[in-house]
Structure 1
């Protein structure tokens, strides 16, 4: 395996991880932002208040995007194995 092929495989893996994790991370970030804005406007400074909505939103996002994430990762794995099998 050449260095270029290894770099391409690594780049593809990192890109796939970013694409797969982006929806869940964005939903968690948006929920955290909304809760923080609500805390700032109501002057409630309870640190544990942000955890429950974030966890609920992330679990919902995982349930919603889970099948797509699994299929994406399975397709990438199949593509990776087929690339490895034809390498000299």
Structure 2
């Protein structure tokens, strides 16, 4: 196994991690921004008003994008496992 192969495997894994994190965190970030803007405009300082919408958005994203994200992870794991004989050389 050459260093180039290890770097390629790590690059693919890190890219997958970043993609999955952005899919989960991105919508919650946008909802948090909208709620914070609403709170600033109305001067309401309620903690649950900012927490609950972000939590619900994160759960909705996990429900709807979860199967696709799991497929990505399983495809990556399958590719790694199937390439083990080629990497041992």
TM-score (ref. length: structure 1): 0.91
Q: Hey, what's the Cα distance between the residues in 2 that align with 1:85 and 1:33?
A: 48
> Distance in 2 between the 1:28 and 1:63 partners?
14
Determine whether 1:20 maps to 2:20.
yes
Unaligned runs of 5+ in 1: none
Instruction: Give the length in aligned residue pairs.
Output: 88
Which SS does the other structure have where 1:28 is aligned?
helix
Distance 1:51 1:31 in 2: 10
Where does structure 2 lack aligned partners over 5 or more consecutive residues?
A: none
* Structure 2 length-normalised TM: 0.90
Cα deviation for residue 11 of structure 1 reads 0.6
**Could you say what the CA RMSD is over the residues aligned between the two structures, in angstroms?**
1.2
Alignment correspondent of 1:46: 46
> Are 1:58 and 2:65 matched, yes or no?
no
Greater than 3 Å deviation, 4+ residue runs? none
Q: Alpha-carbon deviation of 1:83?
A: 2.2
| Worse-matched range after superposition: 69-78 or 45-54 | 45-54
